[in-house]
Amino acid sequence: MAGLALGALPAVGRAADAARYPEVEPGKPAGWFTDKLAATRWQAVTVKDEAITPFRDATHYNNFYEFGPGKGDPADNAGSLPTEPWRLVIDGEVDKPGNYALEDFVKPYQLEERIYRLRCVEAWSMVIPWLGFPLADILKRVQPTSKARYVCFETLRDPEHMPGQRSGFALIDWPYVEGLRLDEAMNPLTLMAVGMYGRELPNQNGAPLRLVVPWKYGFKSIKSIVRMSLVAEQPKTTWQGLAPEEYGFYANVNPQVDHPRWTQARERRLPSGLFSPNVRDTLMFNGYAEQVSGLYAGLDLRKNY
Amino acid sequence: MRYPGLRLALFLFGCLLPAWWLYEAMSNQLGPDPGKVLVTRLGLGGLIYLLVGLCMSPLQRMTGWAGWIVVRRQIGLWSFAYILLHLLGYLVFMLGLDIGQLGVELRRRPYIIVGTLGFLGLLMLAVTSNRASQRRLGARWRSLHRLVYAVLGLGLLHFLWIVRSDLGEWTLYAGAGLAVMVMRIPAVWRRLPRFNRKKRNELK
């Protein structure tokens, strides 16, 4: 593959990466990201016969309530968030807790490009080429204790740069919290992303470090992570706390279990034109059933939504 | 016909705004999900017309200018028209004209039920908005058209049940709705400031 060949030559590789996807706005990557990009394993995971969402749409149609409730608010408001330096705390039931500078934390990992479907709980979807490394690799390094059964993640709380956190009418109790069962976190599909479309993550997409869990609704894929805790009890996640009858802990993509306010059987694959609506059937586990259905054997997915 | 210019301007504004939105959608200026944006704008537009329409009689009382009442019916009809388009947009862009799914949504989703009731209320007001109906219904016309207050409540409830994470925008509209209702409490109505009288006194 051309990408692999070019990847061996850093300078050439960088020039090619910018052109890997059309109309990608160049970012201002941190030094560590540029260094890692050169050795990326391009297209490590792909989707078959599905078009990748245009970069502009993936970066201007976002739910990131820290920056406001509108779809365009994150792109408008996230630009000023400082993402370097960035620190990440790993604590709880682990043998090797730590408080890392991001560049030190990511040092051991090689970047992979993974093209995943992203299904939002609001019944729209995209296809996005992420750059990151498996969460399992991190967990193996920090060594969960025998008591650890869940991973709990936390987004940055920074009202000064996050206008949504200053809103007096926000229903969310900041910081945003998400969680996975330890075996879900260890699944090879679960990705810690630091980039997309051949560049670093734009701020509105969760820079500098976010989770990507492609078989779950998008809100599980928490953005701008500052803390990961290994815990014994199932964490109380943000959306679950807000509307437990609407958003469960699992939040697996499931066309058979409706959201109380709308059907989950179908989705609008964006961009969806006005007179050529791009509506398709939603797939069980967002099309990743083969890799993940084993995790839920014996679990009633209607009750554990 | 009194104030023909004002009426024509309002009519043109009512027509041109959705036409402009459609143009924006067709020239890819509304992002990757233009259908959703149109449906949202039409719904909010219908609510705004409703709220503005309900400001007309308090404004008339406060200023004494007859023009407010002259345009009230047209504003109400625009509210109906935008909500009709909102509903059609929902059918086409959200449901993809799947009528079977509409049946499911009508049974299962409280916000759809409430929205539909509100639309039926507006429909009733729109078909009885002509002079012939006013004559035929006589005194009952006034009580029938008090239905507009229920429509406002249903519309705001429909909106509240769509909110996911931030009540800011909803609170703004609900506050406006509360204000136009409070102005109608007799004790408040009597105390509304009367700018026209003061002005006339000054002129004397």
Q: Are A43 and A5 in contact (CB under 8 A)?
A: no
pLDDT value, residue B96: 80
pLDDT value, residue B200: 52
> Each residue of B128-147: pLDDT tens digit?
999 999 999 999 999 999 99
User: Which of A237, A79, A70 lies closest to A162 in space, CA to CA?
Assistant: A79
For residue A49, how many C-alpha atoms fall within 13 Å in the half-sphere facing its CB? 0
Please report where in the chains the tokens 């409706």 appear, as a residue.
A258
CA distances from A195 to A46, A212, A286 (A): 16, 11, 22
Report the amino acid identity of residue B177.
G
Report chain B residues whose CB lies below 8 A from the CB of A261. Answer: 109, 111, 161-162
User: What is the percent of chain A with per-residue pLDDT over 90, rounded to a whole number?
Assistant: 87
Set out the domains of chain A in order of their start, with CATH numbers.
Answer: 2-296 (3.90.420.10)
Q: Are B165 and A171 in contact (CB under 8 A)?
A: yes
Q: Are A178 and A190 in contact (CB under 8 A)?
A: no
Which of A257, A263, A280 is best to mutate for the B interface (most B CBs within 10 A)?
A: A263
pLDDT value, residue A18: 53
Q: Is A263 an 8 Å CB contact of chain B?
A: yes
**Contact: A171, B33; criterion CB under 8 Å:** no
Mean pLDDT of the A21-49 span: 94
Q: Which residues of A128-150 are buried (b: 16+ CB within 10 A; e: fewer)?
A: bbbbbbbbbebbeebebeeebeb
CA distances from B123 to B13, B52, B78, B92 (A): 22, 18, 12, 20
What is the distance between the alpha carbons of residues A104 and A138, in angstroms, rounded to a whole number? Answer: 13
Mean pLDDT of the A124-148 span: 97
DSSP state of A218: G
Tell me the pTM: 0.86
Q: Is A53 an 8 Å CB contact of chain B?
A: yes
User: What is the percent of chain A with per-residue pLDDT over 70, rounded to a whole number?
Assistant: 94
**Contact: B32, A53; criterion CB under 8 Å:** yes
Does the pLDDT value for residue A50 go beyond 90? yes
- Give A263's pLDDT tier (boundaries 50, 70, 90): confident
Report chain B residues whose CB lies below 8 A from the CB of A75. Answer: none
What is the distance between the alpha carbons of residues A66 and A161, in angstroms, rounded to a whole number? Answer: 9
Q: Is A168 an 8 Å CB contact of chain B?
A: yes
Does the pLDDT value for residue A11 go beyond 50? no
Report the amino acid identity of residue A278.
N
A74: its two tokens: 């994150």
Nearest CA in chain A to B23: A274
Q: Measured in whole angstroms, how far is the alpha carbon of residue A174 from the centre of its chain?
A: 18
Nearest CA in chain A to B24: A274
> Each residue of B148-198: pLDDT tens digit?
999 999 999 999 998 888 888 999 999 999 999 999 999 999 999 988 665
Q: Is A278 an 8 Å CB contact of chain B?
A: no
Size of interface A-B (CB pairs under 8 A): 77
> Each residue of A122-132: pLDDT tens digit?
999 999 999 99
Candidate from B93, B109, B165 with C-beta closest to A261? B109
Please report where in the chains the tokens 């960088």 appear, as a residue.
A14
Q: Which residues of B141-153 are buried (b: 16+ CB within 10 A; e: fewer)?
A: eeeebeebeebbb
pLDDT value, residue A182: 98
A149: its two tokens: 């059964």
pLDDT value, residue B199: 54
What is the distance between the alpha carbons of residues B37 and A140, in angstroms, rounded to a whole number? Answer: 45
What is the distance between the alpha carbons of residues A63 and B15, in angstroms, rounded to a whole number? Answer: 32
What is the distance between the alpha carbons of residues A163 and A126, in angstroms, rounded to a whole number? Answer: 26
- Give A295's pLDDT tier (boundaries 50, 70, 90): very high
Does the pLDDT value for residue A13 go beyond 50? no
The mean of the pLDDT values for chain A is 92
DSSP state of A249: S
CA distances from B86 to A13, B35, B48, B93, B97 (A): 49, 10, 13, 10, 14
Please report where in the chains the tokens 């939105």 appear, as a residue.
B21
B102: its two tokens: 């509409």
Q: Measured in whole angstroms, how far is the alpha carbon of residue A34 from the centre of its chain?
A: 20
Termini Cα distance of chain A: 40
What is the distance between the alpha carbons of residues B142 and A8, in angstroms, rounded to a whole number? Answer: 80
SS3 category, A25: coil
Candidate from A71, A170, A274 with C-beta closest to B165? A170
Please report where in the chains the tokens 């502009």 appear, as a residue.
A56
Q: Is A52 an 8 Å CB contact of chain B?
A: no
> Each residue of A193-238: pLDDT tens digit?
999 999 999 999 999 999 999 999 999 999 999 999 999 999 999 9
> Is A82 or B165 the better-scoring residue by pLDDT?
A82
Does the pLDDT value for residue A16 go beyond 80? no
> Each residue of B68-126: pLDDT tens digit?
999 999 999 999 999 999 999 999 888 888 888 889 889 989 999 999 999 999 999 99
Give the pairing of strands A177-181 and A150-155: antiparallel
Candidate from B35, B93, B168 with C-beta closest to A167? B168
Q: Which residues of A163-183 are buried (b: 16+ CB within 10 A; e: fewer)?
A: bbbebeebbbebbbbbbbbee
Does the pLDDT value for residue A247 go beyond 50? yes
> Is B27 or A135 the better-scoring residue by pLDDT?
A135
Which of A71, A204, A261, A269 is best to mutate for the B interface (most B CBs within 10 A)?
A: A261
ipTM above threshold 0.90? no
- Give A3's pLDDT tier (boundaries 50, 70, 90): very low
A276: its two tokens: 């050529």
> Each residue of B7-40: pLDDT tens digit?
999 999 999 999 999 999 988 889 899 999 999 9
CA distances from B98 to A221, B91, B101 (A): 31, 8, 5
Q: Is B165 an 8 Å CB contact of chain A?
A: yes
Report chain B residues whose CB lies below 8 A from the CB of A155. Answer: none
Does the pLDDT value for residue A291 go beyond 50? yes
Nearest CA in chain A to B172: A169
pLDDT value, residue A275: 79
pLDDT value, residue A6: 42
- Give A15's pLDDT tier (boundaries 50, 70, 90): very low
What is the distance between the alpha carbons of residues A20 and A91, in angstroms, rounded to a whole number? Answer: 37
User: Which of A137, A237, A250 lies closest to A184 in space, CA to CA?
Assistant: A250
pLDDT value, residue A278: 87
Sheet holding A177-181, edge to edge: A98-101, A87-92, A225-231, A150-155, A177-181
**B181 to chain A, closest Cα gap in Å:** 23
Q: Are A237 and A249 in contact (CB under 8 A)?
A: yes
Contacts (Cβ under 8 Å, ≥6 apart) of B186: none
